[in-house]
Amino acid sequence: MPHADTVQAIRWENKQLQLLDQRLLPHKTVYLEFDGVVVVAEAIRDMVVRGAPAIGITAAYGVVLAARARFAESSANWKALIEADLQTLAQSRPTAVNLFWAIECMREVITGLQGDPEPALLAEAKKIHSNDIAACRCMGERGAALIEQPCAILTHCNAGALATGGYGTALGVVRAGFSAGKITHVYADETRPWMQGARLTAWEMVQENIPVTLQVEGAAAHLMQQGKIDWVIVGSDRIAANGDVANKIGTYGLAILARYHGVKFMVVAPTSTVDMNIVCGEDIPIEQRSADEVLSLAGQSTAAAGATAWNPAFDVTPVALVDAIVTERDVVLAPNKEKMAAMMENI
């Protein structure tokens, strides 16, 4: 079994994009190969790859594949043709702003290209990938520095090496904090309906011998009431200009519980996740996924026949409930609109 800190959720080999199929973890480690943009968009939509930074990186490589095909189709008109492919990628998932950020980065490169576009676009995609890994390691150190004494933490969903280019955002802080003796134990929510906490976060922690205890989401309040954790540490798929945070459904409830129990709440995400064009959380589009994800588990029905389900993939935590937003650029304590603007200035 590969070490979770070094596992590559995204690879470019033999001129193809390879994605670790996260739907099969922790039981199987299988890489799928992709050579076209439509199947890359489907992989994002179908949760082969997930996590905002990883989605952005995957989309960047998807643009490389699209450019290769369009240039072969028409070397004179490929720039016009590829716009449809960029839209296909953009429509794969609506909430993770890293997706749109990465597409715009690639579009800027496309604008100035002459001749075969693949080398320059591949270089840009690899740059986005490597920069994300470096950012995660920086965030890990910054976030760990906020923890004053050895403690246990709670995390939700998976914001680790599997959700990023490598190392992780929230779990990057866990890795750095555990190495420094500041984090002693990780409590992980199961994270229904896709069970990212059970399948992915717990797997990453086990691979690195970081003590981890899995719990149902409903146990979080009791855990805090028992005084067993000092921090909730999560990632984000989009952060509004005022500091409101969109993350996996259930994060908002954790933030409310944390504030009531005096537990600190940390959000860890790269600056590519901050959307200064979104004024506040109310304006963040929230992805609605299939009811079948709630009504069944592993293909087996778990609900009464005739029942319906509401399945928002994300919720929004108001900035007033956030103690710290950690990016590769800075740490924003008690964030607000002015502090967010100051951090994002000149980026």
Handedness of CA 244, 247, 249, 254 (dihedral sign): negative
User: Could you give the angle at the alpha carbon of 16 between the alpha carbons of 10 and 17, nearest 5°?
Assistant: 25
The Cα–Cα gap between 54 and 146 comes to 25
Produce one character per residue of 239-254: b if its CB has 16 or more CB atoms within 10 Å, e if not: bbbbbbbbbbbbbbbb
By DSSP bridging, strand 151-155 and strand 231-234 are parallel
H or E, element range at 222: helix 220-225
DSSP 301: E
Distance CA 298, CA 278 (A): 36
Which contiguous run of DSSP H or E holds residue 37? helix 37-45
Task: Judge contact between 243 and 253, C-beta under 8 A.
Answer: no
Phi-psi region of 311 (alpha: psi -120 to 50; beta: other; left: phi over 0): beta
Q: Residue 268 region, left (φ>0) first, then alpha (ψ -120 to 50), else beta?
A: beta
| H or E segment and range at residue 146 | none
What are the helix and strand counts (H, E) for the chain? 12, 16
Per the annotation, the verdict on 237 as an active-site residue is yes
Residue count of the chain, please give it.
347
Neighbours of 42 (CB within 10 A): 14
**Which of 132, 237, 244, 275 is the catalytic position?**
237
- The enclosing H or E element of 51 equals none
> Under a CB-based contact definition with an 8 Å cutoff, are residues 183 and 147 in contact?
yes
What residues are labeled active site? 237
